[in-house]
Amino acid sequence: MSEENNQYTFENPEYRQTYWHTCSHVMAQAVKRLWPEVKLAIGPSIDEGWYYDMDAPFAFTPEHLEQIEAEMRKICKEKLKLERFELPRPEAVKFMEERDEKYKVELIHDLPEDEVISFYKQGEFTDLCAGPHLDSTGRIKGNALKLTACNAAYWRGDSSRETLQRIYGIAFPKKDELDAHLARIEEAKKRDHRRLGKELGLFMLRDEGPGFPFFLPKGMVLKNTLLDYWRKVHKKYGYVEISTPIMLNRQLWERSGHWDHYKNNMYTTVIDDVDFAVKPMNCPGGMLVYASEPHSYRDLPLRVGEIGLVHRHELSGALHGLFRVRCFNQDDAHVFMTREQMQDVIQETVRLFDEVYSVFGLSYTIELSTMPEDHIGTVEEWERNQDILKQAITAMGKEFVINEGDGAFYGPKLDFHLADSLGRTWQCGTIQLDSQLPERFELEYTGEDGEKHRPVMIHRVVLGSIERFIGVITEHFAGAFPTWLAPVQVKLLPVTDRAAEYAAKISAQLDAQGFRVEVDGRNEKIGKKIREATLEKVPFMLVVGDRDMENGTVSVRRRSGEDLGAMSLEDFAALLDGEVKSMAIQ
Protein backbone atom coordinates (compact mmCIF):
# COMPACT_ATOMS: atom_id res chain seq x y z
CA MET A 1 0.00 0.00 0.00
CA SER A 2 1.38 3.41 -0.95
CA GLU A 3 2.01 6.06 1.69
CA GLU A 4 -0.86 8.13 0.22
CA ASN A 5 -3.35 5.24 0.44
CA ASN A 6 -2.05 4.43 3.90
CA GLN A 7 -2.81 7.93 5.23
CA TYR A 8 -6.32 7.21 6.50
CA THR A 9 -5.86 3.71 7.88
CA PHE A 10 -4.68 2.34 11.21
CA GLU A 11 -1.37 1.55 9.50
CA ASN A 12 -0.70 5.26 9.94
CA PRO A 13 -0.05 5.86 13.67
CA GLU A 14 -1.07 9.54 13.39
CA TYR A 15 -4.46 8.60 11.94
CA ARG A 16 -4.88 5.89 14.59
CA GLN A 17 -4.23 8.38 17.40
CA THR A 18 -6.58 10.94 15.78
CA TYR A 19 -9.31 8.29 15.53
CA TRP A 20 -8.94 7.33 19.19
CA HIS A 21 -8.73 10.95 20.31
CA THR A 22 -12.03 11.64 18.56
CA CYS A 23 -13.50 8.58 20.28
CA SER A 24 -12.56 10.10 23.65
CA HIS A 25 -14.65 13.17 22.76
CA VAL A 26 -17.56 10.98 21.67
CA MET A 27 -17.34 9.14 24.99
CA ALA A 28 -17.27 12.41 26.94
CA GLN A 29 -20.27 13.67 24.98
CA ALA A 30 -22.15 10.45 25.73
CA VAL A 31 -21.41 10.79 29.46
CA LYS A 32 -22.56 14.42 29.52
CA ARG A 33 -25.80 13.48 27.73
CA LEU A 34 -26.52 10.75 30.28
CA TRP A 35 -25.29 12.56 33.41
CA PRO A 36 -24.90 16.34 32.86
CA GLU A 37 -23.56 16.80 36.39
CA VAL A 38 -20.32 14.92 35.56
CA LYS A 39 -17.25 17.19 35.31
CA LEU A 40 -14.65 16.47 32.61
CA ALA A 41 -10.89 16.53 33.14
CA ILE A 42 -8.62 15.19 30.36
CA GLY A 43 -9.14 12.60 27.63
CA PRO A 44 -6.09 11.73 25.56
CA SER A 45 -5.43 8.92 23.13
CA ILE A 46 -2.86 6.39 24.39
CA ASP A 47 -0.89 3.52 22.89
CA GLU A 48 -4.00 1.33 22.72
CA GLY A 49 -7.18 3.37 22.64
CA TRP A 50 -7.97 6.28 24.93
CA TYR A 51 -9.11 7.25 28.37
CA TYR A 52 -11.03 10.12 29.89
CA ASP A 53 -10.76 11.27 33.52
CA MET A 54 -14.07 12.40 35.00
CA ASP A 55 -15.44 13.66 38.30
CA ALA A 56 -18.80 11.95 38.90
CA PRO A 57 -20.97 11.92 42.05
CA PHE A 58 -21.25 8.13 41.77
CA ALA A 59 -18.96 5.22 40.88
CA PHE A 60 -19.16 4.00 37.29
CA THR A 61 -20.15 0.32 37.05
CA PRO A 62 -20.06 -2.12 34.11
CA GLU A 63 -23.75 -1.32 33.61
CA HIS A 64 -22.89 2.39 33.31
CA LEU A 65 -20.23 1.57 30.72
CA GLU A 66 -22.82 -0.33 28.66
CA GLN A 67 -25.09 2.74 28.74
CA ILE A 68 -22.21 4.96 27.62
CA GLU A 69 -21.34 2.58 24.76
CA ALA A 70 -24.94 2.63 23.54
CA GLU A 71 -25.03 6.42 23.59
CA MET A 72 -21.68 6.57 21.77
CA ARG A 73 -23.15 4.44 18.97
CA LYS A 74 -26.03 6.92 18.64
CA ILE A 75 -23.56 9.80 18.37
CA CYS A 76 -21.64 7.97 15.66
CA LYS A 77 -24.86 7.45 13.70
CA GLU A 78 -25.69 11.15 14.04
CA LYS A 79 -22.59 11.96 11.97
CA LEU A 80 -21.90 15.16 13.87
CA LYS A 81 -19.38 17.49 12.27
CA LEU A 82 -16.36 18.40 14.39
CA GLU A 83 -15.67 22.12 14.21
CA ARG A 84 -12.57 23.80 15.61
CA PHE A 85 -12.59 27.35 16.96
CA GLU A 86 -10.31 29.54 19.08
CA LEU A 87 -10.98 31.95 21.94
CA PRO A 88 -8.85 34.55 23.75
CA ARG A 89 -7.88 33.44 27.24
CA PRO A 90 -10.50 35.52 29.17
CA GLU A 91 -13.29 34.32 26.88
CA ALA A 92 -12.05 30.72 27.05
CA VAL A 93 -12.11 30.85 30.86
CA LYS A 94 -15.59 32.38 30.87
CA PHE A 95 -16.79 29.78 28.35
CA MET A 96 -15.81 26.90 30.64
CA GLU A 97 -16.89 28.66 33.84
CA GLU A 98 -20.38 29.04 32.40
CA ARG A 99 -20.42 25.28 31.85
CA ASP A 100 -19.18 24.65 35.40
CA GLU A 101 -16.11 22.74 34.10
CA LYS A 102 -13.59 23.65 36.81
CA TYR A 103 -10.89 21.25 35.58
CA LYS A 104 -10.96 22.82 32.12
CA VAL A 105 -10.70 26.29 33.68
CA GLU A 106 -7.59 25.20 35.58
CA LEU A 107 -6.05 23.79 32.40
CA ILE A 108 -6.65 27.05 30.56
CA HIS A 109 -5.06 29.10 33.37
CA ASP A 110 -1.97 26.85 33.22
CA LEU A 111 -1.43 27.20 29.47
CA PRO A 112 1.55 29.36 28.39
CA GLU A 113 0.74 33.00 27.75
CA ASP A 114 1.32 32.67 24.00
CA GLU A 115 -0.61 29.39 23.64
CA VAL A 116 -3.46 29.27 21.14
CA ILE A 117 -6.56 28.15 23.06
CA SER A 118 -8.68 25.98 20.81
CA PHE A 119 -11.93 24.05 21.19
CA TYR A 120 -13.74 21.35 19.23
CA LYS A 121 -17.53 21.34 18.89
CA GLN A 122 -19.71 18.40 17.83
CA GLY A 123 -23.44 18.94 18.11
CA GLU A 124 -24.28 20.28 21.56
CA PHE A 125 -20.91 19.21 22.98
CA THR A 126 -17.76 21.35 23.09
CA ASP A 127 -14.40 20.43 24.60
CA LEU A 128 -11.13 22.26 25.21
CA CYS A 129 -8.63 20.54 22.91
CA ALA A 130 -5.60 21.14 20.71
CA GLY A 131 -6.68 18.34 18.32
CA PRO A 132 -6.42 17.02 15.74
CA HIS A 133 -9.71 15.17 15.20
CA LEU A 134 -11.68 13.38 12.52
CA ASP A 135 -14.08 15.60 10.59
CA SER A 136 -17.21 13.72 11.69
CA THR A 137 -18.38 11.31 14.39
CA GLY A 138 -19.72 9.25 11.50
CA ARG A 139 -16.16 8.18 10.69
CA ILE A 140 -16.22 6.04 13.85
CA LYS A 141 -17.75 2.58 13.56
CA GLY A 142 -20.15 2.27 16.48
CA ASN A 143 -20.16 -1.53 16.38
CA ALA A 144 -16.36 -1.64 16.65
CA LEU A 145 -15.83 0.24 19.91
CA LYS A 146 -15.61 -1.05 23.46
CA LEU A 147 -15.17 0.53 26.90
CA THR A 148 -12.75 -1.79 28.61
CA ALA A 149 -12.19 -0.60 32.18
CA CYS A 150 -12.73 2.06 34.80
CA ASN A 151 -10.47 2.85 37.75
CA ALA A 152 -9.43 5.68 40.04
CA ALA A 153 -6.98 8.40 38.98
CA TYR A 154 -5.65 11.45 40.79
CA TRP A 155 -6.19 14.80 39.08
CA ARG A 156 -2.93 15.67 37.36
CA GLY A 157 -1.30 12.62 38.99
CA ASP A 158 -1.17 14.36 42.38
CA SER A 159 -2.28 12.20 45.32
CA SER A 160 -3.17 15.35 47.28
CA ARG A 161 -5.72 16.41 44.63
CA GLU A 162 -9.18 15.16 43.70
CA THR A 163 -9.74 11.48 42.98
CA LEU A 164 -11.34 11.06 39.56
CA GLN A 165 -12.61 8.08 37.59
CA ARG A 166 -10.76 7.04 34.46
CA ILE A 167 -12.71 5.21 31.77
CA TYR A 168 -10.68 3.36 29.13
CA GLY A 169 -11.84 2.51 25.63
CA ILE A 170 -10.69 1.00 22.36
CA ALA A 171 -12.05 1.16 18.82
CA PHE A 172 -11.19 -0.05 15.32
CA PRO A 173 -12.40 0.63 11.80
CA LYS A 174 -13.82 -2.92 11.58
CA LYS A 175 -15.63 -5.12 14.09
CA ASP A 176 -13.48 -8.16 13.35
CA GLU A 177 -10.41 -6.08 14.32
CA LEU A 178 -12.08 -5.23 17.63
CA ASP A 179 -12.98 -8.89 18.18
CA ALA A 180 -9.39 -9.95 17.51
CA HIS A 181 -8.12 -7.29 19.92
CA LEU A 182 -10.51 -8.39 22.67
CA ALA A 183 -9.49 -12.01 22.09
CA ARG A 184 -5.84 -10.99 22.58
CA ILE A 185 -6.80 -9.28 25.83
CA GLU A 186 -8.48 -12.46 27.08
CA GLU A 187 -5.42 -14.48 26.13
CA ALA A 188 -3.21 -11.94 27.89
CA LYS A 189 -5.29 -12.40 31.06
CA LYS A 190 -4.60 -16.14 30.94
CA ARG A 191 -0.89 -15.36 30.58
CA ASP A 192 -0.79 -12.73 33.34
CA HIS A 193 2.56 -13.31 35.04
CA ARG A 194 1.11 -12.43 38.43
CA ARG A 195 -1.39 -15.28 38.21
CA LEU A 196 1.11 -17.72 36.66
CA GLY A 197 3.78 -16.70 39.18
CA LYS A 198 1.47 -17.78 41.97
CA GLU A 199 0.21 -20.95 40.27
CA LEU A 200 3.70 -22.10 39.29
CA GLY A 201 5.29 -21.15 42.62
CA LEU A 202 7.74 -18.64 41.10
CA PHE A 203 7.35 -15.51 43.22
CA MET A 204 5.03 -13.72 45.60
CA LEU A 205 4.19 -10.13 46.47
CA ARG A 206 3.29 -9.14 50.03
CA ASP A 207 1.77 -6.09 51.65
CA GLU A 208 4.72 -6.08 54.06
CA GLY A 209 6.96 -5.10 51.14
CA PRO A 210 5.00 -3.43 48.32
CA GLY A 211 7.08 -3.44 45.17
CA PHE A 212 9.68 -5.76 46.70
CA PRO A 213 9.13 -9.24 45.20
CA PHE A 214 9.88 -12.51 47.01
CA PHE A 215 11.31 -15.23 44.79
CA LEU A 216 10.29 -18.77 45.76
CA PRO A 217 12.44 -21.91 45.19
CA LYS A 218 11.22 -22.59 41.65
CA GLY A 219 11.47 -18.91 40.81
CA MET A 220 15.06 -18.89 42.01
CA VAL A 221 15.85 -21.85 39.74
CA LEU A 222 14.39 -19.91 36.83
CA LYS A 223 16.23 -16.73 37.79
CA ASN A 224 19.58 -18.42 38.35
CA THR A 225 19.31 -20.39 35.10
CA LEU A 226 18.67 -17.13 33.28
CA LEU A 227 21.67 -15.51 34.97
CA ASP A 228 23.87 -18.52 34.19
CA TYR A 229 23.03 -18.04 30.53
CA TRP A 230 23.72 -14.28 30.83
CA ARG A 231 27.17 -15.01 32.25
CA LYS A 232 27.92 -17.60 29.58
CA VAL A 233 27.07 -15.33 26.64
CA HIS A 234 28.89 -12.34 28.15
CA LYS A 235 32.02 -14.37 28.73
CA LYS A 236 31.86 -15.32 25.04
CA TYR A 237 31.82 -11.60 24.13
CA GLY A 238 34.78 -10.76 26.36
CA TYR A 239 33.08 -9.27 29.45
CA VAL A 240 34.42 -9.49 32.98
CA GLU A 241 32.02 -9.39 35.92
CA ILE A 242 32.17 -7.09 38.95
CA SER A 243 30.00 -6.23 41.94
CA THR A 244 29.70 -2.73 43.40
CA PRO A 245 28.24 -1.58 46.76
CA ILE A 246 24.51 -1.18 47.15
CA MET A 247 24.93 2.13 49.01
CA LEU A 248 27.29 5.02 48.26
CA ASN A 249 27.61 8.56 49.60
CA ARG A 250 25.97 11.71 48.34
CA GLN A 251 29.22 13.14 47.01
CA LEU A 252 29.44 10.32 44.46
CA TRP A 253 25.85 10.82 43.30
CA GLU A 254 26.41 14.56 42.99
CA ARG A 255 29.51 13.92 40.93
CA SER A 256 27.63 11.57 38.59
CA GLY A 257 24.71 14.01 38.30
CA HIS A 258 22.14 11.59 39.66
CA TRP A 259 21.58 13.61 42.85
CA ASP A 260 20.38 16.56 40.76
CA HIS A 261 18.56 14.59 38.06
CA TYR A 262 17.24 11.49 39.87
CA LYS A 263 17.00 12.30 43.60
CA ASN A 264 13.21 11.90 43.82
CA ASN A 265 13.56 8.25 42.77
CA MET A 266 16.37 7.45 45.24
CA TYR A 267 16.18 6.03 48.76
CA THR A 268 18.47 8.00 51.05
CA THR A 269 19.75 7.71 54.61
CA VAL A 270 22.37 9.25 56.88
CA ILE A 271 25.40 7.31 58.15
CA ASP A 272 27.88 9.01 60.51
CA ASP A 273 26.34 12.39 59.64
CA VAL A 274 26.92 11.82 55.93
CA ASP A 275 24.11 11.51 53.33
CA PHE A 276 24.04 8.17 51.52
CA ALA A 277 21.80 6.80 48.77
CA VAL A 278 20.87 3.25 47.91
CA LYS A 279 21.92 2.90 44.30
CA PRO A 280 19.18 3.30 41.68
CA MET A 281 21.66 2.20 39.00
CA ASN A 282 25.12 0.68 38.86
CA CYS A 283 26.93 3.25 36.67
CA PRO A 284 28.81 5.38 39.26
CA GLY A 285 30.21 2.28 40.94
CA GLY A 286 31.44 1.13 37.54
CA MET A 287 33.21 4.46 37.09
CA LEU A 288 35.11 3.93 40.36
CA VAL A 289 36.12 0.41 39.29
CA TYR A 290 37.57 1.74 36.03
CA ALA A 291 39.38 4.56 37.87
CA SER A 292 40.90 2.16 40.41
CA GLU A 293 43.86 1.31 38.14
CA PRO A 294 45.66 2.83 35.14
CA HIS A 295 44.64 1.78 31.63
CA SER A 296 46.33 1.71 28.26
CA TYR A 297 44.76 1.85 24.81
CA ARG A 298 45.69 -1.83 24.63
CA ASP A 299 43.09 -2.55 27.37
CA LEU A 300 40.29 -1.04 25.34
CA PRO A 301 37.54 -1.76 24.69
CA LEU A 302 37.14 -2.86 28.32
CA ARG A 303 33.84 -4.69 28.81
CA VAL A 304 32.59 -4.80 32.41
CA GLY A 305 29.30 -6.43 33.45
CA GLU A 306 27.37 -6.41 36.71
CA ILE A 307 24.19 -8.05 37.95
CA GLY A 308 23.49 -5.27 40.42
CA LEU A 309 20.59 -5.00 42.85
CA VAL A 310 19.14 -1.50 42.51
CA HIS A 311 16.31 0.30 44.29
CA ARG A 312 14.07 3.00 42.85
CA HIS A 313 11.20 4.78 44.54
CA GLU A 314 8.11 4.13 42.45
CA LEU A 315 4.68 5.49 43.33
CA SER A 316 2.46 2.81 44.82
CA GLY A 317 -0.12 3.27 42.07
CA ALA A 318 2.51 2.47 39.42
CA LEU A 319 3.54 -0.89 40.92
CA HIS A 320 2.56 -3.86 38.76
CA GLY A 321 3.72 -7.39 39.48
CA LEU A 322 7.30 -7.84 38.28
CA PHE A 323 6.86 -5.24 35.55
CA ARG A 324 7.17 -2.26 37.89
CA VAL A 325 8.89 -2.90 41.23
CA ARG A 326 10.98 -0.95 43.71
CA CYS A 327 14.00 -3.26 43.78
CA PHE A 328 15.37 -5.37 40.96
CA ASN A 329 18.53 -6.84 39.53
CA GLN A 330 19.78 -5.00 36.47
CA ASP A 331 22.13 -6.69 34.01
CA ASP A 332 24.21 -3.57 33.61
CA ALA A 333 27.36 -3.47 31.58
CA HIS A 334 29.73 -0.65 30.74
CA VAL A 335 32.13 -0.71 27.84
CA PHE A 336 35.00 1.78 27.94
CA MET A 337 36.57 2.54 24.56
CA THR A 338 38.38 4.98 22.34
CA ARG A 339 36.43 7.22 19.99
CA GLU A 340 37.71 5.20 17.05
CA GLN A 341 36.16 2.03 18.53
CA MET A 342 32.66 3.43 19.12
CA GLN A 343 30.92 2.16 16.00
CA ASP A 344 32.45 -1.33 16.23
CA VAL A 345 31.51 -1.64 19.91
CA ILE A 346 27.92 -0.54 19.28
CA GLN A 347 27.56 -3.06 16.47
CA GLU A 348 29.13 -5.81 18.57
CA THR A 349 26.62 -5.02 21.33
CA VAL A 350 23.71 -5.25 18.90
CA ARG A 351 24.98 -8.66 17.73
CA LEU A 352 25.01 -9.79 21.37
CA PHE A 353 21.42 -8.56 21.70
CA ASP A 354 20.46 -10.45 18.54
CA GLU A 355 21.91 -13.66 19.93
CA VAL A 356 20.18 -13.35 23.29
CA TYR A 357 16.74 -12.35 22.02
CA SER A 358 16.69 -15.09 19.38
CA VAL A 359 17.09 -17.68 22.16
CA PHE A 360 13.69 -16.60 23.50
CA GLY A 361 12.05 -16.17 20.10
CA LEU A 362 11.71 -12.41 20.62
CA SER A 363 11.88 -9.94 17.75
CA TYR A 364 12.40 -6.23 18.32
CA THR A 365 12.16 -2.71 16.98
CA ILE A 366 14.66 0.06 17.78
CA GLU A 367 14.09 3.64 18.94
CA LEU A 368 16.81 6.29 18.91
CA SER A 369 16.11 8.58 21.88
CA THR A 370 17.61 12.05 21.50
CA MET A 371 18.64 14.92 23.79
CA PRO A 372 16.15 15.79 26.57
CA GLU A 373 15.69 19.29 27.95
CA ASP A 374 17.25 18.16 31.24
CA HIS A 375 20.71 17.14 30.00
CA ILE A 376 24.40 17.63 30.63
CA GLY A 377 27.00 18.23 27.95
CA THR A 378 27.01 20.44 24.89
CA VAL A 379 24.58 20.24 22.00
CA GLU A 380 27.53 19.54 19.69
CA GLU A 381 28.56 16.48 21.74
CA TRP A 382 24.99 15.20 21.72
CA GLU A 383 24.62 15.62 17.98
CA ARG A 384 27.93 13.88 17.35
CA ASN A 385 26.99 10.91 19.56
CA GLN A 386 23.50 10.70 18.05
CA ASP A 387 25.07 10.54 14.58
CA ILE A 388 27.40 7.73 15.68
CA LEU A 389 24.44 5.67 16.92
CA LYS A 390 22.59 6.30 13.65
CA GLN A 391 25.59 5.33 11.52
CA ALA A 392 26.33 2.18 13.51
CA ILE A 393 22.79 0.84 13.35
CA THR A 394 22.22 1.86 9.72
CA ALA A 395 25.44 0.12 8.63
CA MET A 396 23.99 -3.12 10.07
CA GLY A 397 20.88 -2.77 7.92
CA LYS A 398 18.72 -2.10 11.00
CA GLU A 399 15.81 0.32 10.93
CA PHE A 400 14.94 2.68 13.76
CA VAL A 401 12.51 5.43 14.66
CA ILE A 402 13.35 8.69 16.44
CA ASN A 403 12.02 9.25 19.96
CA GLU A 404 12.61 12.96 20.37
CA GLY A 405 13.86 14.22 23.73
CA ASP A 406 13.81 10.90 25.60
CA GLY A 407 17.54 10.25 25.94
CA ALA A 408 19.26 9.74 29.29
CA PHE A 409 20.40 13.00 30.85
CA TYR A 410 24.01 12.14 29.94
CA GLY A 411 23.62 10.80 26.42
CA PRO A 412 21.49 9.50 23.53
CA LYS A 413 20.40 5.89 23.46
CA LEU A 414 19.06 3.04 21.39
CA ASP A 415 16.06 1.37 23.05
CA PHE A 416 15.09 -2.17 22.01
CA HIS A 417 11.35 -2.92 22.17
CA LEU A 418 10.73 -6.67 22.24
CA ALA A 419 7.62 -8.18 20.66
CA ASP A 420 6.17 -11.20 22.49
CA SER A 421 3.97 -14.03 21.21
CA LEU A 422 0.85 -11.83 21.45
CA GLY A 423 2.46 -8.97 19.55
CA ARG A 424 2.81 -6.77 22.65
CA THR A 425 6.02 -4.78 22.98
CA TRP A 426 8.29 -4.39 26.00
CA GLN A 427 11.24 -2.03 26.32
CA CYS A 428 14.07 -4.17 27.72
CA GLY A 429 17.45 -3.59 26.09
CA THR A 430 19.17 -0.25 25.78
CA ILE A 431 22.52 1.06 24.53
CA GLN A 432 23.37 4.50 25.93
CA LEU A 433 26.33 6.41 24.52
CA ASP A 434 28.06 8.57 27.12
CA SER A 435 30.97 10.99 26.97
CA GLN A 436 29.82 12.93 30.06
CA LEU A 437 30.43 10.58 33.00
CA PRO A 438 33.99 9.75 31.88
CA GLU A 439 34.60 13.52 31.98
CA ARG A 440 33.00 13.97 35.40
CA PHE A 441 34.98 11.08 36.87
CA GLU A 442 38.16 12.14 35.04
CA LEU A 443 38.65 8.67 33.53
CA GLU A 444 41.79 8.25 31.47
CA TYR A 445 43.81 5.86 29.36
CA THR A 446 47.28 6.15 27.90
CA GLY A 447 47.18 6.31 24.12
CA GLU A 448 49.66 5.08 21.51
CA ASP A 449 51.23 8.54 21.66
CA GLY A 450 52.02 8.12 25.36
CA GLU A 451 49.57 10.91 26.27
CA LYS A 452 46.52 10.74 28.52
CA HIS A 453 43.15 10.57 26.77
CA ARG A 454 39.52 10.47 27.88
CA PRO A 455 37.64 7.25 27.05
CA VAL A 456 34.02 7.22 25.97
CA MET A 457 31.64 4.56 27.16
CA ILE A 458 28.32 2.87 26.63
CA HIS A 459 25.90 1.87 29.34
CA ARG A 460 23.89 -1.12 28.23
CA VAL A 461 21.46 -3.76 29.41
CA VAL A 462 20.19 -6.63 27.32
CA LEU A 463 17.58 -8.13 29.64
CA GLY A 464 17.05 -4.88 31.56
CA SER A 465 15.48 -5.62 34.90
CA ILE A 466 15.89 -9.37 35.45
CA GLU A 467 12.61 -9.41 37.35
CA ARG A 468 10.75 -7.60 34.59
CA PHE A 469 12.27 -9.87 31.94
CA ILE A 470 11.06 -12.90 33.90
CA GLY A 471 7.60 -11.34 33.85
CA VAL A 472 7.85 -10.78 30.09
CA ILE A 473 8.95 -14.32 29.23
CA THR A 474 6.45 -15.83 31.66
CA GLU A 475 3.68 -14.20 29.63
CA HIS A 476 5.47 -14.80 26.31
CA PHE A 477 5.66 -18.55 26.97
CA ALA A 478 2.41 -18.61 29.02
CA GLY A 479 4.47 -20.22 31.79
CA ALA A 480 5.51 -23.14 29.53
CA PHE A 481 9.22 -22.31 29.60
CA PRO A 482 11.64 -24.01 27.20
CA THR A 483 13.16 -27.14 28.69
CA TRP A 484 16.54 -25.52 29.39
CA LEU A 485 14.83 -22.78 31.43
CA ALA A 486 12.01 -24.71 33.11
CA PRO A 487 12.31 -24.88 36.94
CA VAL A 488 11.31 -28.56 36.76
CA GLN A 489 12.27 -30.31 33.54
CA VAL A 490 11.00 -33.81 34.28
CA LYS A 491 8.27 -35.17 36.53
CA LEU A 492 8.21 -38.89 37.35
CA LEU A 493 4.74 -40.31 37.80
CA PRO A 494 4.67 -43.83 39.30
CA VAL A 495 1.43 -45.63 38.39
CA THR A 496 1.41 -47.77 41.54
CA ASP A 497 3.16 -47.86 44.88
CA ARG A 498 5.21 -50.75 43.49
CA ALA A 499 6.78 -48.40 40.94
CA ALA A 500 7.71 -45.73 43.52
CA GLU A 501 11.16 -47.19 44.23
CA TYR A 502 11.87 -47.49 40.49
CA ALA A 503 10.79 -43.87 39.98
CA ALA A 504 13.10 -42.73 42.78
CA LYS A 505 15.99 -44.60 41.15
CA ILE A 506 15.31 -42.99 37.76
CA SER A 507 15.05 -39.59 39.43
CA ALA A 508 18.44 -40.03 41.11
CA GLN A 509 20.09 -40.99 37.83
CA LEU A 510 18.66 -37.98 35.98
CA ASP A 511 19.55 -35.68 38.86
CA ALA A 512 23.13 -36.96 38.77
CA GLN A 513 23.27 -35.91 35.09
CA GLY A 514 22.30 -32.37 36.02
CA PHE A 515 18.61 -32.42 35.12
CA ARG A 516 15.91 -30.91 37.33
CA VAL A 517 13.55 -33.69 38.40
CA GLU A 518 10.62 -34.22 40.75
CA VAL A 519 8.70 -37.36 41.71
CA ASP A 520 4.96 -37.32 42.33
CA GLY A 521 4.75 -40.19 44.80
CA ARG A 522 1.22 -39.47 46.02
CA ASN A 523 -1.35 -42.23 46.19
CA GLU A 524 -3.45 -40.71 43.40
CA LYS A 525 -4.76 -41.97 40.07
CA ILE A 526 -2.29 -41.57 37.24
CA GLY A 527 -4.76 -39.43 35.25
CA LYS A 528 -4.84 -36.85 38.02
CA LYS A 529 -1.05 -36.84 38.27
CA ILE A 530 -0.74 -36.23 34.52
CA ARG A 531 -3.31 -33.43 34.58
CA GLU A 532 -1.58 -31.66 37.46
CA ALA A 533 1.89 -32.02 35.92
CA THR A 534 0.46 -30.58 32.70
CA LEU A 535 -0.98 -27.61 34.61
CA GLU A 536 2.44 -27.14 36.22
CA LYS A 537 3.76 -26.93 32.64
CA VAL A 538 6.56 -29.44 33.21
CA PRO A 539 8.14 -30.17 29.80
CA PHE A 540 8.38 -33.96 30.25
CA MET A 541 6.38 -36.49 32.26
CA LEU A 542 7.73 -40.00 32.75
CA VAL A 543 4.96 -42.46 33.54
CA VAL A 544 6.43 -45.62 35.11
CA GLY A 545 4.50 -48.80 35.88
CA ASP A 546 5.02 -52.54 36.13
CA ARG A 547 5.90 -53.00 32.43
CA ASP A 548 8.50 -50.19 32.60
CA MET A 549 10.03 -51.83 35.66
CA GLU A 550 10.24 -55.16 33.82
CA ASN A 551 11.72 -53.65 30.65
CA GLY A 552 13.89 -50.99 32.26
CA THR A 553 12.08 -48.24 30.32
CA VAL A 554 10.14 -45.03 30.91
CA SER A 555 6.94 -43.98 29.14
CA VAL A 556 7.48 -40.40 27.94
CA ARG A 557 4.84 -37.68 27.53
CA ARG A 558 5.32 -34.05 26.60
CA ARG A 559 3.29 -31.33 28.32
CA SER A 560 1.60 -30.72 24.94
CA GLY A 561 -0.03 -34.16 25.35
CA GLU A 562 2.20 -35.84 22.76
CA ASP A 563 2.89 -39.46 23.78
CA LEU A 564 6.44 -40.43 22.81
CA GLY A 565 5.99 -44.00 24.03
CA ALA A 566 8.37 -46.19 25.96
CA MET A 567 12.12 -45.66 25.67
CA SER A 568 15.24 -46.52 27.58
CA LEU A 569 16.48 -44.08 30.17
CA GLU A 570 19.61 -43.55 28.07
CA ASP A 571 17.56 -42.58 25.03
CA PHE A 572 15.36 -40.25 27.05
CA ALA A 573 18.38 -38.61 28.71
CA ALA A 574 19.88 -38.02 25.25
CA LEU A 575 16.61 -36.44 24.06
CA LEU A 576 16.45 -34.24 27.14
CA ASP A 577 20.11 -33.28 26.87
CA GLY A 578 19.65 -32.30 23.23
CA GLU A 579 16.76 -29.98 24.04
CA VAL A 580 18.66 -28.37 26.91
CA LYS A 581 21.89 -27.83 24.97
CA SER A 582 20.14 -26.55 21.84
CA MET A 583 17.99 -24.24 24.00
CA ALA A 584 15.10 -25.29 21.78
CA ILE A 585 11.79 -23.44 21.99
CA GLN A 586 9.00 -26.01 22.02
Catalytic residue among 223, 312, 491, 557: 312
459 part of the active site: yes
> What's the one-letter identity of residue 386?
Q
CA distance 42 to 21: 11
Nearest CA-CA partner of 515 in 489, 497, 534: 489
In this structure, the number of other CB atoms found within 10 A of the CB of residue 98 comes to 8
**Catalytic residue from among 25, 133, 303, 459:** 459
d(CA 303, CA 521): 49
Q: Residue 548 catalytic?
A: no
Nearest-angstrom CA–CA distance, 139 and 23: 10
Does the bond joining 301 to the residue before it have cis omega, within 30 degrees of 0?
A: yes
What does the radius of gyration of the chain's CA atoms come to, in whole angstroms?
A: 29
Contact call for residues 145 and 169 (beta carbons, < 8 A): yes
Which residues lie across from 274 on neighbouring strands? 271
**Pick from 291, 308, 301, 286: nearest CA to 237:** 301
Residue 498: other Cβ atoms inside 10 A = 12
Active site (annotated) includes residue 218: no
State the catalytic residue, choosing from 76, 283, 327, 428.
283
- For 270, phi then psi, to 5°, come to -125, 125
CA distances from 449 to 297, 340, 445 (A): 10, 15, 11
Spatial neighbors of 244 by CB under 8 A, at least 6 apart, are 279, 282, 285, 286, 288, 289, 306, 308
Task: Find the catalytic residue in 331, 332, 420, 520.
Answer: 332
Q: Choosing from 326, 334, 476, 557, which is the catalytic residue?
A: 334
Cβ proximity of 544 and 497 under 8 Å: no
Please pick, among 29, 330, 432, 489, the residue that the annotation labels catalytic: 330
CA angle 484, 488, 494 (to 5 degrees): 130
Q: Which of 21, 326, 413, 537 is catalytic?
A: 413
> E strands, 392-438, where?
401-403, 413-419, 425-434
Q: Which positions ≥6 away from 407 have C-beta within 8 Å? A: 369, 370, 371, 372, 375, 382, 413, 432
Helix axes 13-34, 62-78, angle to 10 degrees: 110
Active site residue 509: no
| Residue 223 contacts residue 213 (beta carbons within 8 Å) | no
Is 161 among the catalytic positions? no
The number of beta carbons lying within 10 Å of the beta carbon of residue 381 is: 18
List the Cα angle 385/391/395 in 5-degree steps: 155
Beta-carbon contacts of residue 387 (< 8 Å; ≥ 6 apart): none
Pairing of strands 163-171, 125-128: unpaired
State yes or no: is 283 an active-site residue: yes
Bridge partners for 139 per DSSP: none
Instruction: Let me know: does 166 contact 52? Beta carbons within 8 Å.
Output: yes
Kind and range of the H or E element at 438? helix 437-440
Is residue 312 flagged as an active site residue?
yes
Catalytic residues: 283, 312, 330, 332, 334, 413, 459
